[in-house]
Structure 1
Amino acid sequence: MEPTSYQRPRVGGVEVSWLGADPIPGEDIGQYRFGSKIWQDRFRYLVAEAERIGLHLDFTISASWPCQIPGLLPSAPAAAVELVCGIRLLEGPYCGSLPPPLSAPSGQSLGLSDLASPLEVVAVHVVKVVLDAQSRPLADNGEPDMRGPWHLAGTDGPAMQELEVSGGEVRVEASHLTPNHPSVGHLLVASYSRGTAQHKSIWEIHNDTVYLEPRGTVVDHFDPEGVEVVKAFYQTTVFDESTRQAFGRIQSSVFEDSLELHHTQCWTPRFRTSFMELRGYDPTPFLPLLHKRFRPTAFSPDLHIIIPAGREHNEDPHRFLYDFRRTLSDLYIHGRLNPLVQWADTNNLKFRCQPYELDIDAGLAAALVDLPEGEMMMLQTLNFRDKRNAFRLLASGRDVSGKRILSDELAACIGMAYTMTWKKIIQTANKDFALGVNQIVLHGMPYRWSASSAWPGYFPLLPDPPLPSFSDAWDERQPQWAFAKPCTDYLARTQSVLQAGHAVVDLAIFHPALKGIDVHWEDTSLSSAGYTFGFLSDGLLGLPSLLVSGGRLCPDGPAYKCLIIDNQLEMQVDTAQTIFALANSGLPIIVVGDLPTRALGLAEDVAAVDFQVQRAFVDLLRLPHCLHVTDIKSLVNTLQAAAIMPSVGYEHRDNCWLHVCRVVGHETWYFILNESDCRQSQVVQIPCKDRTTIYNPWTGSFSPIHDTVPSAPGRIGVPLDLGASQAAIIRCGLGDDQFLEHGACLASITAMRNELKDWTLQVEGWHPAEPKEAGIASIKTLIEKIGPIQLAELVPWTDIPVLKQQSGVGEYRTTFRVSPRMRRAFLEFHPDQTCTMKVMIDGNVVDGDIVGLGPLEITRALCEVTEHKLSITISTPLLNAMRALYPAFANCPTQSYGLLGCTFACYE
């Protein structure tokens, strides 16, 4: 750990993750791996050092991810397993050996290729499939492709028949086959359980690094055995009484990343027993339906090998597949998450977790862990991707369970190493704050150097064509790091507001549990009308804490005013009955579109459970406070006709503004975001009877709001002027603060604007001091003085030949005059500007928004004189310099650095 790197920008905490080793040539790499003696010593050192400097310390549950444990062989009871199959196309009766698996262990790679993954036969079936010319799957050589897809035949008799296995052989009699049917064929399907041998993330395509010492594999995520092996590892290595006590003092958490599991089909050795206990029937007759093709990477399609016929022929396979997914979700939540939460608690830790990537009830998982976390990866192929409602779902789990934190792995952007800016970080954080996030974990900070590192230092996430990079390497190697403190202060102050009290949310929308974080709600009319909303899954609705009082759901928490059910044709019986019970307790419910008609899951009497679902909604709609609308477009009007009003009102109904609301004692706080890509102004109506102030998280100061406008009874109209992705924080309550003389972020009278010209620019270009050296020499930076450069007008550095390939720091100087009648004054910056700034007037630093999201007020910095000296120092990312040095960066687009425009705005 390098403490000064964290202390300079006043970072409050750090998450420590082991991502590999880069030893001196000739050294044994194993001595540095996760689990080694050196690793254990460094772990204890990190804990002690964090306590010494007052740093909050989290650590990942294992090296890389998913969770993997040293010495855990693929054959061990606690190792991750998968369900795989071997298939033989039968020409008639058969007696012989079982067909081998269609693929090698899905997680196997060069790093662990010599570790065996023994097979265990789970079941063997004869499966009837459609074998006509159109449905027969063919390989490139024209032979039948055993990987399918094969379509289950809908002939008389069972389509799947289980066979007995004796001595590794099986007998298929003529009675198992359908004779003389030209379009029906028969497959011999052997289902096996096998260790995945996974030792790296499914996203790591070409990485064969071995992370563990001794070598080991990923744990079973669906059985408590996978937790027990984690507990045993830590108890026998680095957990002792001293360390446990230190965890409590430095508020440590153990973190588990998203479920990036390699598997053909998820499985666990005790699945059959658990399934029978949870679902009430044996899954074995349906096992052939579970098999999938091997996926070499996360980008590969997820394809079933055997496809059931449509529901009109037989619903049982479809209902079974739901029960299978529901059982995996239950096993993960109750067999892994709950035990890990309990284990963390016994060691003075909190458990932070990203509970997604599989079809699990992510909302319920978020409610059960101590610290749920999401991420904004900025890559459309990832499950979480740019889905705002995924955050809302996790926030709902946090809120209904009475937890405080929703964490956010921020700015882990693919292809953006040495490209990320603080402006982009603040903009993205603001958007996530408006969706319920209230803790930022910035990605990431590597060690300064390694044995083979090149300038500007060690970074394990550099581009390795064809693979892109990940952002970013934050420390002193970056010119922007010297400007980090105002930005981290902004994030810390905003988090402090959003962690206080509890969230209040207008509406809850039902979200089917097994869709995970894939929340489909594309309509924007609710947020445009001023409503906030969250999503409640089946598991969340089943929590005993979800009570109704005074027409509000969870009245001491989010206090939802209404539950919305949107076009759900199927639903779990217990969920339908719970929703009716909530309605019967006085909660308004609006059903949009079609009513549910089918129960999810297989039952002995399918018609009876279907009727229970139908009956629940028929009875619900008889209640006077429950409504049915045919189209989502009428939802806002229906809500307002029922006197279910939004928490705030916007002047413009067609807008891109979002907000969240927190209640802290007798105060109510609003975080209001302009999510659009341009500056916008409008009046926001807020329910408030007490004093209203605006909070500036850049400075930590409050200002009174003087220029409110007439509004509806019980509300005030606050005019706001916000830049793209800029936010305003408004407090309604009885605060006792020392106000500044002027407010900020408020729309006001028209300003007199003057674009500032005639600048002098002095640049410090950053380059490697020893470009051919590796190791500790790689962190040495040579500062090249360039300038002064006279600029009549501001232009990007790429338009100035001497700066075209430069990264570093630039200082701009000019003068401007102020009218003696000036009441308030601002600097306004070009919206495309990305660089971080330090603004000084007459030698004094001006505190405030240093990334240029909105106007920077400079009123207090102006003294009696009419002419003032202005200095604006900007810092850049390193990309343009990296493009000139390294071929791996050559194809990255050049960034437009520099001060792109600056206007003085004066209000008289």
Structure 2
Amino acid sequence: MFANTRIAPLGWAAAAILGHPASASIDDQAGLHFNGGTFEKPSSLVRPRFRYWLPDSSVSPDVVKADITAAGSIGAGGIELLPFFQYGGRIGNMPPGADWSISNFGTPQFDAVFRAALEAHQEHGMVMDFALGPNQGQGVPVRADDEGLQWDLVPFTAAVPPNRSFHGVVPGWGTGELVSVVSAAVASQKSLSTTASDELQLVNVTWDQYILRHGSLTERISSVDNTTGEVSLTLGAASNSTGYRLFAFYQKLTLERNLVFNATQDKTIFDNGSFVVDHFDGAGARVVARFWEDHILTDPTTKELLTKVGNYAWEDSVEITSNISWSKSLSARFQKVAGYRIEPFLPLLTFKQNNFALQAATPGPFECLLDSPDQGAGHVNDYHNTLADGIKDYLQTLTNWTNGVLKLQLSAQPGYNLPVDMLATIPIVQAPECESLGFGDDIDLYRHFTGPANLAGKRVISNELGAVIMSAYRYLLSELLFSANRGFAAGINQYVIHGQVYSGNYYATTWPGYTPFSYLFSELYSDKQPYWENGLADVLGYMGRTQLVQQSGVPRVDVAVYSKQSTTSPLGVGYKAADLQKNGWTYTYVSPANFDLPQATVNNGVLGPNGPAWKAIVIESTRNLTLSAASKVKEYAGAGLPVIFSGGSPSYYPEKDGGTNVHQVAAGGVAELLSSLGLSPWVKASSNGTWYTTWRESAADGIDYAFVLSDLAPASGEIVVASTKRPYFFDAWTGTRKPVLTHQQDETTTTIPLSMAGNQTLIIAFSDKLESEVPAPSMHITSAPPSVIGADFDKTSGISLRVVASAAPGNVSLSDGTSHAVPAMEAPPAFALTNWTLVAELWEAPPNLSDASAIASKRNTTHELPTLVPWAAIPALVNASGLGYYSVRFSWSPSNASATGAYLSLPGPIPNTAPQLLNAGSLPVPEVLVDLKGIPLPGRVEAGLVGEVRVIPFVVQRLGL
């Protein structure tokens, strides 16, 4: 466990979610009106939700309802109900005493818990996401012979004798339905090996590689006796070869289960767990739909509640295994997509055509390449395009049913882990979802995901947030915020937090309670965590307000970067030059598969005018530019879109075709060219650090939003925004809004100076319609001397400056051209706070470990600290968990009479802290310079803070504007 630092007694009540659920529409488009609530109090629809680990359906419905109520009380918008069953039986077996036949997904026992969860959401004005099946939602209980289940293609090979005659049974006969038999001349062969990860350990992987003569692949299935599997072949001489091999391929149902357990009987579909469905054909979606209609929606109350408080029907990333990704319909689909038969080229699909994430150690029994220049990649790419077409068929069928029958939307994690271009599948999903674990908190990887979603006009881009390996009961709120902020910076705008646990008792479970993944992944959110009622609500409030802003209006992005991968690499292949980021240009990625979207048009020189409105498209020389993509890019250039080739032209593109809108630059020269074309970023950030920005325009309410993230380290600089509307700071931590008092404007832009801490974010709204809601001065500050370290405004006093000690006078310039003198000040110098008292409230195991529902045993210890040190450096608190109440006293003596106020200078956001309090006045968690205005200052001040803290006295100078 870890030390959860709590600063002073909790001084506020968590905001309750008010009113009725903000029910979702089946329209997924950005820019349309939706019930997001207000910035101060966002609706449940836009607040973060918890993935909720339901152990199985035997648990108490009342405890489930209480857990949902508790989540709502700290600001969650709802839960994503996931019937976990020990990860479908993959991590831990069915515990003694449980009967998963009775508590299986879709049984009467499950239906009762499902209905109770819906009722809890209705009672508290929340919305609920739900998995479409047990575990990750990738299948349902069904008969094992249903042809809508997952299919596999199993390959076999055998050498043809040196006399080039093969008489006997084809290899693998009896494995399944024979799809193809192919003979091929082998130019060369060798054995290869590598190391790969297999369930958290490295293993050695070996395989045989065959280089096949490209004109020698010949289908032989017509020669096979379909009763005995025997074949007689005599093959002709083949030059430049070492001989022939025979390849055979069989399709069969995998019977892979997303819920597996040993049942004591086999009487119903629920006794067999749950089978994975076909994800490369709409038939798989129809299996899921039939199950729901036959076993869950039969209760009219459940169906009515789903319509009222349901949000997303959901499926996780596809974690299924096979030899070769396949569907029974794939041969026919390939003929339709590619225009020729796949069967003769099946030997090219035997290696790394399954699940990248789960099967790195089992990529295939052998590998075949052609001796042609592309080694057969063209045929493999056609196969990948066919798989993507099948995935889209599956997702679209599921979407149609979800919209039509449930009146809800579909959310899913599409494409990645599988041998397809992820970017091609994203636009099909109404609320496409990625994850912090698989994407590694990498902003550039996220940009691959958000680009196609933005082009397709999706209002919500979801993220499974906070799964970190080996961090159970150790994951800090600061780490959660770090991950969230990096997603926000890339355009992610809805989080499902991984995850809330069932808080009651369960089979074979002791304190601290039910723990999914056997402590492997973070996090286990419940009231057993000290920060549950001591800080987590602040984080959820911050996230909810930021999500509201990032879902409002339409996102605008400066540049599209062309990205075509036949299969999306888990490591990512992104824009490596630093020029765009360094010069304040935002960018996301687009695949040529996305060019077929109706939104992928050029108007007024921008691509996707009703969405990201990309001002140019960048194509790097290393990219795969297909003939069809080259034709489309030429069309875009002709319509006025700047097309920039970076580092040279990829093959297939006719140089300079498209006129003056086609440009070539050296790698790293894109930003300079964009500027030379007279283009400028939506939000140009310049600082001595790294700042990431986003820009959204909301025509519905007349407010545009800039979001700024300061990455890792403190930095100062400015942003230049392409707007002349009045700017306002929107504080996502408190919900307050106030005018930006210091900025400059010209005919087209607004320049705002900023100083930010590492991982700090700012939301700056631009609007000419907020004056009645947010008072603002008639003029603003355009420049101020360094001694002015803050300013405030109210309608009574006007603008008030915070001026610290300075030996030199200065001037404050105003937007009307006038200036005000700032004299040299004799405010007392800043001073550090030392000699702290820490009262540690220790949370420890309860006496009865068998009661998993117990929170903790609590006791206090007191520690005197000359300087602030981590708990790990205090012998009595090593490995302790709980809350820390820090206090320090300092004198506000008569010698400070020249000062009329003070700031507390903090070291930045403090890991895992709750709201910070000073003399019962609340201080914003993330601020690094806190104005003590409104906080009582008696002769002795007690501050509940952690870190190196200084007091900075200042003098208030009122400008009276």
Instruction: Please tell me the residue identity of whatever aligns with 1:57.
Output: M
Alignment of 1:851-862 (within 5 A): 853-862=926-935
The answer for the alignment partner of 1:453 in structure 2 is: 509
Q: Cα distance 1:905–1:350, how it changes in 2: closer, same or farther (>3 A)? A: farther
Q: Distance in 2 between matches of 1:455 and 1:23?
A: 19
Report the alpha carbon displacement of residue 856 of structure 1 after superposing the two structures with TM: 4.9
Alignment of 1:68-217 (within 5 A): 68-73=139-144, 75-91=145-161, 92=163, 93-100=165-172, 119-131=176-188, 135=190, 148-154=207-213, 158-163=216-221, 164-166=223-225, 167-176=227-236, 178=238, 184-200=242-258, 213-217=271-275
Q: 2:81 aligns with which of 1, 13, 16?
A: 16
Q: Cα distance 1:519–1:827, how it changes in 2: closer, same or farther (>3 A)? A: farther
Q: Distance in 2 between matches of 1:396 and 1:388?
A: 12
Correspondence 1:3 to 2:68? yes
Q: Report the 3-state secondary structure (helix = DSSP H, G, I; strand = E; otherwise coil) of the residue aligned with 1:672.
A: strand
Report the alpha carbon displacement of residue 131 of structure 1 after superposing the two structures with TM: 5.0
Q: 1:60 aligns with which of 125, 128, 131?
A: 131
The answer for the alignment partner of 2:311 in structure 1 is: 252
Correspondence 1:786 to 2:837? no
Q: Cα distance 1:667–1:37, how it changes in 2: closer, same or farther (>3 A)? A: closer
Q: Distance in 2 between matches of 1:703 and 1:767?
A: 43
Q: Cα distance 1:526–1:269, how it changes in 2: closer, same or farther (>3 A)? A: same
Q: Distance in 1 between matches of 2:452 and 2:154?
A: 34
Instruction: Please tell me the residue identity of whatever aligns with 1:857.
Output: V
Q: 2:410 aligns with which of 330, 344, 351?
A: 351
Report the alpha carbon displacement of residue 248 of structure 1 after superposing the two structures with TM: 2.9
Correspondence 1:326 to 2:381? no
Report the alpha carbon displacement of residue 445 of structure 1 after superposing the two structures with TM: 0.6
Q: Cα distance 1:539–1:137, how it changes in 2: closer, same or farther (>3 A)? A: closer
Report the alpha carbon displacement of residue 495 of structure 1 after superposing the two structures with TM: 0.9
| More moved, 438-447 vs 753-762 | 753-762
The answer for the alignment partner of 2:532 in structure 1 is: 481
Q: Cα distance 1:694–1:832, how it changes in 2: closer, same or farther (>3 A)? A: closer
Q: Cα distance 1:191–1:23, how it changes in 2: closer, same or farther (>3 A)? A: closer
Q: Distance in 2 between matches of 1:146 and 1:410?
A: 32
Report the alpha carbon displacement of residue 647 of structure 1 after superposing the two structures with TM: 1.9
Instruction: Please tell me the residue identity of whatever aligns with 2:620.
Output: D
Q: Report the 3-state secondary structure (helix = DSSP H, G, I; strand = E; otherwise coil) of the residue aligned with 1:30.
A: coil
1:216-240, Cα deviation, whole Å (9 max, x unpaired): 3211101111011000000011114
Q: Report the 3-state secondary structure (helix = DSSP H, G, I; strand = E; otherwise coil) of the residue aligned with 1:289.
A: helix
Report the alpha carbon displacement of residue 476 of structure 1 after superposing the two structures with TM: 0.3
Report the alpha carbon displacement of residue 803 of structure 1 after superposing the two structures with TM: 1.1
Q: 2:732 aligns with which of 691, 697, 709?
A: 697
Contact 1:412 1:472 in 2 (8 A): yes
The answer for the alignment partner of 1:660 in structure 2 is: 694
Aligned residues: 809
1:310-358, Cα deviation, whole Å (9 max, x unpaired): 443xx4722111101111111111x211111111101111101111222
Identity over aligned residues, as a percent?
23
Q: Distance in 2 between matches of 1:146 and 1:271?
A: 29
Q: Distance in 1 between matches of 2:648 and 2:324?
A: 33
1:88-113, Cα deviation, whole Å (9 max, x unpaired): 22324222222228xxxxxxxxxxxx
Q: Distance in 2 between matches of 1:570 and 1:29?
A: 49
Q: 1:490 aligns with which of 532, 537, 542?
A: 542
Q: Cα distance 1:558–1:137, how it changes in 2: closer, same or farther (>3 A)? A: closer
- 5+ residue gaps, structure 2: 1-63, 87-92, 195-203, 264-268, 778-789, 793-799, 806-828, 956-961
1:386-431, Cα deviation, whole Å (9 max, x unpaired): 4323322332223222221111111011111001111211222111
The answer for the alignment partner of 1:51 in structure 2 is: 122
Correspondence 1:221 to 2:279? yes
1:275-329, Cα deviation, whole Å (9 max, x unpaired): 11111111111111111379894442635723323443xx472211110111111
Q: Distance in 2 between matches of 1:457 and 1:569?
A: 50
Q: TM-score, normalised by structure 2?
A: 0.79
Report the alpha carbon displacement of residue 639 of structure 1 after superposing the two structures with TM: 0.8
Alignment of 1:522-561 (within 5 A): 522-561=576-615
Alignment of 1:224-373 (within 5 A): 224-240=282-298, 241-292=300-351, 297-300=358-361, 302=363, 305-312=366-373, 315=374, 317-333=376-392, 335-346=393-404, 347-355=406-414, 356-373=416-433
Report the alpha carbon displacement of residue 160 of structure 1 after superposing the two structures with TM: 4.3
Q: Cα distance 1:821–1:404, how it changes in 2: closer, same or farther (>3 A)? A: farther
Contact 1:455 1:779 in 2 (8 A): yes
The answer for the alignment partner of 2:472 in structure 1 is: 417
Correspondence 1:642 to 2:693? no
Instruction: Please tell me the residue identity of whatever aligns with 1:594.
Output: G
The answer for the alignment partner of 1:605 in structure 2 is: none
Contact 1:719 1:747 in 2 (8 A): no
The answer for the alignment partner of 1:891 in structure 2 is: none
Report the alpha carbon displacement of residue 61 of structure 1 after superposing the two structures with TM: 1.5
Q: Distance in 2 between matches of 1:413 and 1:824?
A: 43
Contact 2:98 2:507 in 1 (8 A): no
| More moved, 315-324 vs 635-644 | 315-324
Q: Report the 3-state secondary structure (helix = DSSP H, G, I; strand = E; otherwise coil) of the residue aligned with 1:482.
A: coil
Instruction: Please tell me the residue identity of whatever aligns with 2:183.
Output: V
Q: Report the 3-state secondary structure (helix = DSSP H, G, I; strand = E; otherwise coil) of the residue aligned with 1:399.
A: helix
Instruction: Please tell me the residue identity of whatever aligns with 2:602.
Output: V
Q: Report the 3-state secondary structure (helix = DSSP H, G, I; strand = E; otherwise coil) of the residue aligned with 1:836.
A: coil
Q: 2:885 aligns with which of 811, 832, 839?
A: 811
The answer for the alignment partner of 2:922 in structure 1 is: 846
1:597-622, Cα deviation, whole Å (9 max, x unpaired): 34xxxxxxxxxxxxxxx44x5522xx
Instruction: Please tell me the residue identity of whatever aligns with 2:763.
Output: I
Q: Which has the higher contact order (CA 8 A, sep 6+)?
A: 2
Q: Distance in 1 between matches of 2:767 and 2:901?
A: 26
Contact 2:643 2:661 in 1 (8 A): yes
The answer for the alignment partner of 2:716 in structure 1 is: 681
Q: Distance in 2 between matches of 1:430 and 1:159?
A: 52
Q: Distance in 1 between matches of 2:143 and 2:522?
A: 32
Q: Distance in 2 between matches of 1:290 and 1:659?
A: 42
Q: Distance in 2 between matches of 1:136 and 1:252?
A: 52
Report the alpha carbon displacement of residue 571 of structure 1 after superposing the two structures with TM: 2.8
Q: Cα distance 1:212–1:582, how it changes in 2: closer, same or farther (>3 A)? A: farther
Q: Cα distance 1:732–1:822, how it changes in 2: closer, same or farther (>3 A)? A: farther
Q: TM-score, normalised by structure 1?
A: 0.83
Instruction: Please tell me the residue identity of whatever aligns with 1:782.
Output: S
Report the alpha carbon displacement of residue 689 of structure 1 after superposing the two structures with TM: 2.0
Contact 1:693 1:730 in 2 (8 A): yes
Q: Distance in 1 between matches of 2:802 and 2:581?
A: 25
Q: Distance in 2 between matches of 1:410 and 1:197?
A: 31
Q: Report the 3-state secondary structure (helix = DSSP H, G, I; strand = E; otherwise coil) of the residue aligned with 1:249.
A: helix
- 5+ residue gaps, structure 1: 102-116, 140-144, 202-206, 464-468, 599-613, 873-898
The answer for the alignment partner of 2:36 in structure 1 is: none
Q: Distance in 1 between matches of 2:178 and 2:205?
A: 19
Q: Report the 3-state secondary structure (helix = DSSP H, G, I; strand = E; otherwise coil) of the residue aligned with 2:663.
A: strand
Q: Cα distance 1:5–1:762, how it changes in 2: closer, same or farther (>3 A)? A: same
Q: Report the 3-state secondary structure (helix = DSSP H, G, I; strand = E; otherwise coil) of the residue aligned with 1:846.
A: strand
Contact 2:830 2:952 in 1 (8 A): yes
Report the alpha carbon displacement of residue 777 of structure 1 after superposing the two structures with TM: 4.6
The answer for the alignment partner of 1:499 in structure 2 is: 551
Q: Cα distance 1:494–1:138, how it changes in 2: closer, same or farther (>3 A)? A: closer
